[in-house]
Amino acid sequence: CPIAVPGDPKVPVLYEVERTRTGKSFSVRSVKAIQHGKPIFTCQASFQLSQGSPVQHQFTMPSVPPPEDLLTQEELIQKFLQNPNLAERYRKHLTKIQAEDVPIDIKPVNPPDTFCLEPQEPKQFFWVRARGYIGETDMKVHCCVAAYISDYAFLGTALLPHRQYHIKLMVSLDHSMWFHAPFRADHWMLYECESPWAGGCRGLVQGRLWRRDGVLAVTCAQEGVIRVQEMPNQSKL
């Protein structure tokens, strides 16, 4: 799903749908989202009738602590803000994150003890779920919610080894998703994110959404533009 230009939430979106292919078991639709007479987003969606097959395998779900044993992102931020030695620029950054109204419950699996910007391996794990109750509804609703969830903090995984830089621009170029098994977006799922490569002002990230029972429900991939500038050398506190 390539993104052309940012959308305007105050303006209605016109969707043009092309029936690219209609087969016996697979169908493809191409969608163009238009605002102000210009395309802001294009999407190609592939649909398949449910079919059984003896050819089945998946990766093994990573072994991590359950969400009940972890703090939410809000609780972690509050913990960091209580540190009297936290530098003011970091305090402002965390306060800005705290003020965001994010409709997702997020529990980082391996958060640092204190807020810092030390380089890390380009891999992270979150327990995620939609806030509120969605229930046993059309699976397409849960897929839409998972698409929203999948974009949160995804591209930022590519920046974990490069935290000495200040982000000037970070925006998605394309975002792909493959839905493998039914799931509930309002139930806890483990989001495994990793970045195998970054360079040339671009970053590539891959992600997997796991159900709690170990079933791989969704696979994601995203490429984005990343432009940075080096930050002044300051204390990490």
Catalytic one among 124, 151, 206, 213? 151
Nearest 5°: CA angle at 130, between 129 and 135? 105
Catalytic one among 30, 172, 186, 234? 172
CB 172 within 8 A of CB 215: no
**Residues 50-74, buried b or exposed e (16+ Cβ, 10 A)?**
eeeeeeeeeeebeebeebeebeebe
Q: Determine whether 82 is an active site residue.
A: no
Spell out the alpha helix ranges (H) of the chain: 73-81, 88-99, 139-150
Neighbours of 46 (CB within 10 A): 11
What's the Cα-to-Cα distance from 55 to each of 51, 52, 58, 60, 98, rounded to whole Å? 11, 9, 11, 16, 45
Calpha distance 74→99 (Å, rounded) = 10
Q: Determine whether 27 is an active site residue.
A: no
Q: 81 in helix, strand or coil?
A: helix
Q: Determine whether 172 is an active site residue.
A: yes
Catalytic one among 222, 229, 234, 235? 222
Neighbours of 16 (CB within 10 A): 11
The rounded Cα 187 to chain-centroid distance in angstroms is 16
Catalytic center residues: 151, 172, 222
